[in-house]
Structures are given as structure tokens and as C-alpha cells.
Amino acid sequence: MNFIGVDLTPITLAGYEPTGFCVLKKDDKGPPVLAECFSLPEGDTKATRLVAEVYEARGEARVAAMSRLVAQVNQELVDLIIEFMPGIVGLSAALSLPDGRAGYDLRLADHILEQDPLLKAAKAGLRSAVKAPARAFRGLVVRELLDAEGLVYGEDVIEVSPGGSLACLGLPAEIGSGRLNREDVPDRLLKLLRIPRSSHLPQTDSEYSALVAAFTGYLRFSGATEEVGDPLEGTITLPRRTGHAGSH
């Protein structure tokens, strides 16, 4: 069984950041093993060619080119997810909006994470609809595309907070920025995943977030997670820990 982790980065007229993508494979025995960890888009794809088109265009032509880019990038991502036949997909982006409340309001799940003493250090990993609307709306689009492929939100597709997951696991919750060194990935996480130091580890903060998202999906499969928030509004999946204030 494969567990997919995706760190959804925003796509705006200001630019497009590569999206982190991770695959954990699990056989019948033992914990999952890191199979692949990379950034998208890879190589010469239609999406990478459209990036150049966006920057060359001006005015209305640029807006139209951006629309094509967004659609293509999202479709390539979903096609790749489906190719790996995932058991669970963990996405680090808001997959729902505040229920019945207009404007830039927080969801209950975001309130819980912000008020939790342990998770205060993980704010860099929070993905709220308020703090990152471009990321959130991309999450909603990808969720809809995955739903069209038969992957059900809340069962096959879950929202995760990489920083929150690390904090719940007792690991350093701060996810850095830019290129990573091997020393940036905690030894305890590598041991949990049976990842030897000689393997290809995440090279960017987005890839690292994707790795944590995939591992959270595995923990969900193993029954070792809990949901925070409101099922009617959307929940965030976190590793279970004793005495989690505000769990629902």
C-alpha cells in the first residue's frame, strides 16, 4: 500500500513554488519505507512550459495563461497521485472553508491548533484558509479533482498540518525554509520510517512537509491519529497523543 504526502504550494501571478511530493510504501509487515521524495513539476511537462508562457505574456493574455497553468499543474498532480494508487493521501493545505461564515474567518480546526499549548511552536506548519488563501483554494480544487477520481475526502484524502504532526510526535516542529541538509531531518523520524541515512532524503522544506504528511496518512491507516475540528466544517488529522486539549 502506498501513502502519498503533498505539500501544496500556492499558484499566483506572483509566481509558482514547486510542490513537495512523497511516497511511502508499506508491505504486509513493519512500518512504511520511503520510496520517493521530489518536487513538482518535474522535467519537461506541459506545466513547466506554461510557466514560461505566463511570464512572457502581459495583461489579459497573462491572466489567461495563468488560468491554463493552474489547471495543468493541478491535473498533473492528481494524475501522479492516481498513478501510485494511494491508500491515503495527506495534503498540507486547507481542504474546507469556514461553514456558513463569510470573510476571512478561521475554522474550528484552526482555532484548536492555534490555542493548543504544544502546537504553538508549529504555527509555521499550519495551513489555514485565512493565512494562505491561495494555498487553501488550490487545496479545494485538488480535493474536487481527487473526488472525481473516486478518492473520498475524510477517508482517502485527509488534511494535515506537518508542523502539528511533528509536534505531536515529540519532534522539532519548525520546518525550515529553502534547501535542507541531511541533519535537518531528525534521526527519530528516520528510525520511525526505517529510512537509512544513505537514502535519498527530502531536499527542500516542501519535500520534508510532504514526507511528514505521508507519514501522518500512514498513522491514520494504523488507527494512531485523531481529528480536530468540526466534521461538518472540515477537520485536520494529527497523530494521537495523550490528553490532547480540544480534540473532537
Query: Per-residue pLDDT tens for 175-234?
Result: 665 566 656 677 777 777 777 666 677 888 888 899 999 999 999 999 999 999 998 888
* Strand 225-230 to 157-159 pairing: unpaired
> Hey, what domains does the chain have and what are their CATH numbers?
2-239 (3.30.420.10)
From CA 105, how far away is CA 166, in angstroms rounded?
Answer: 26
The arithmetic mean of pLDDT across residues 126-155, rounded, is 78
Q: What is the pLDDT of residue 15?
A: 62
pLDDT of residue 56: 80
Do the beta carbons of residue 163 and residue 241 sit within 8 Å?
no
30: pLDDT confidence band, cut at 50, 70 and 90? confident
Which region among 6-15, 50-59, 182-191 has the lowest average model confidence (pLDDT)?
182-191
Looking at residue 248, its pLDDT comes to: 36
Which three cell numbers mark 152? 473520498
Matching residue, cell 502539528: 164
Closest CA to 75 of 3, 11, 162, 22: 11
Q: In this predicted model, which residue has the larger pLDDT, 246 or 91?
A: 91
Q: pLDDT value at position 155? A: 94
Phi, psi angles (nearest 5°) of residue 49: -70, -35
pLDDT at residue number 244: 40
State residue 197's pLDDT score.
64
* 60 confidence band (pLDDT: 50, 70, 90): confident
- What is this structure's pTM? 0.84
Query: Phi and psi at residue 216, in whole multiples of 5°?
Result: -65, -40
Does the structure show a pLDDT above 90 at 121?
A: no
pLDDT-based confidence at residue 54 (cuts at 50, 70, 90): confident
Q: Please report the pLDDT score of residue 166 as a whole number.
A: 87
- 6/124 Cα distance (integer angstroms): 16
Residue 246 has pLDDT above 50, yes or no: no
Average pLDDT score over the chain: 80
Q: Mind listing the pLDDT tens digit for each residue in 71-107?
A: 888 999 999 999 999 999 999 988 988 876 554 567 8
Please indicate whether residue 239 or residue 201 has the higher confidence score (pLDDT): 239
Q: Give the residue with greater pLDDT, 152 vs 48.
A: 152
Short-list 22, 28, 66, CA closest to 47? 66
